[in-house]
Amino acid sequence: MAEAGLAPTMDAFGNLFGLPPGSEPCLLLGSHSDSQPEGGWLDGAYGVIAGLEVARATREAGGPPIAVVSFQDEEGRFNPLGGSRVWAGVLSPEEADRATDIAGMTLAEAREALTTFDISEPVPASRFRAFVEMHIEQGPMLDDAGESIAVVENIVGIRGERYRLTGEQNHAGTTPMHLRRDAFQGLAEFAVRLNERLAPVVTPRTVWTIGHATLHPSAASIVPGRAEFTMQWRDAETARLDQMTGIIRETAEAVARERGFGLERWAYAEIPPRLCDARLVEGLAGAAEAVAPGRWRRMTSGALHDAANLVPLMPTAMLFVPSIGGISHSFAEDTSRSDLVLGAHVLACASATI
């Protein structure tokens, strides 16, 4: 950032801004640079580096000042989109700090490692006039179509809850099947029954995932007494997210009741669907047509992005480049070098006009 003529500015939650000289509200580019366990090399980082390169090249060409941001904890080790939610004021620092990672460390404890940095006051949103996030698609649509750019028109909403099913830990050899309160069987029945109950209310774009699950005590000769798991669902429509919330909770309660389990639930994320700024979208579309005529499309983002938290604060939009094979959140995540460079060209062209 310093080499690009930007003042590196980190806030107490690890959001790192590169600020150009002056105080005129300027365009903000960027994304996040934290990653998922076994995450790929481009998710987030591409948007930060492409933003930095456009800010540097624009400055060297005597163009307008451009700021760059790398938001913290987008991937939700502690809080999904946590850094930008705290920065946008939609998640209180106190609540954010109470969140724990799957190893049980709180964000408050993890943030102590930041004390070695020169921490600044939060950068006010009024410093920026618009935000454009460059990102990989993380899905198959561009790659399947042989296209190189997507202009994102809207971002789906997400809800997430953690559940704990408590049955009865017992001997795996002496406990007859009909006497067991096997927490894994409860989780398995929940997952199968949920797929059946959601089928009538979802679309082909709706998704729901049990991505993290642990059994206690997780031993081959012990009937598991406890199952803890995350439940996450996403859709572009708030009404459908609400319907799904009801079905998910009712299904968990019914399985617990029928099998005599204890059931506990904690909500951990709720980010509404967002529309990108229409004027910015047209500006990005113009740049895509100029740089990659006929090889771009408009689309919905099925992944969540920090841009979702900036929509209420300033005109916000996104650009995607293809993910080879649609793979992401995996070491296999990749994008062709030519598409990475072409994406930066579209971002530079758009940044000069929006």
Using CB under 6 A, pick the residue from 11, 34, 73, 74 that binds ligand HGY. Answer: 74
Q: How many residues bind ligand HGY (CB under 6 A)?
A: 4
Give the x/- contact pattern for ligand HGY in 286-305, rule: CB under 6 A.
-----------------xx-
Q: Which residue has the tokens 């049980």?
A: 104
Give all strands (DSSP E) within 189-245, no chain letters: 207-209, 213-216, 222-223, 226-235
Enumerate the β-bridge partners of residue 130. 27
Q: Does residue 147 belong to the site contacting ligand HGY (CB under 6 A)?
A: no
How is residue 243 annotated by DSSP? H
Give the x/- contact pattern for ligand HGY in 173-202, rule: CB under 6 A.
------------------------------
Q: Does residue 44 belong to the site contacting Mn ion (CB under 5 A)?
A: yes
Using CB under 5 A, pick the residue from 11, 43, 137, 228 that binds Mn ion. Answer: 43
From CA 105, how far away is CA 191, in angstroms rounded? 28
How near is the Cβ of 45 to Mn ion at its closest, in Å? 9
- Angle, helices 278-291 vs 337-351, to 10°: value is 130
SS3 160: strand
Q: Which residue has the tokens 């017992």?
A: 170
How many Cβ atoms are within 10 Å of 2's Cβ, its own excluded? 8
Cα 25-30-34 angle, rounded to 5 deg: 135
Q: Is 161 left (phi over 0), alpha (psi -120 to 50) or beta?
A: beta
11 binds, among Mn ion, ligand HGY, none (CB under 5 to 8 A by kind): none
160 binds, among Mn ion, ligand HGY, none (CB under 5 to 8 A by kind): none
How near is the Cβ of 74 to ligand HGY at its closest, in Å? 6
Residue number with the smallest Cβ distance to ligand HGY: 303
Contacts with Mn ion, residue ranges (CB under 5 A): 43-44
Contacts with ligand HGY, residue ranges (CB under 6 A): 74-75, 303-304
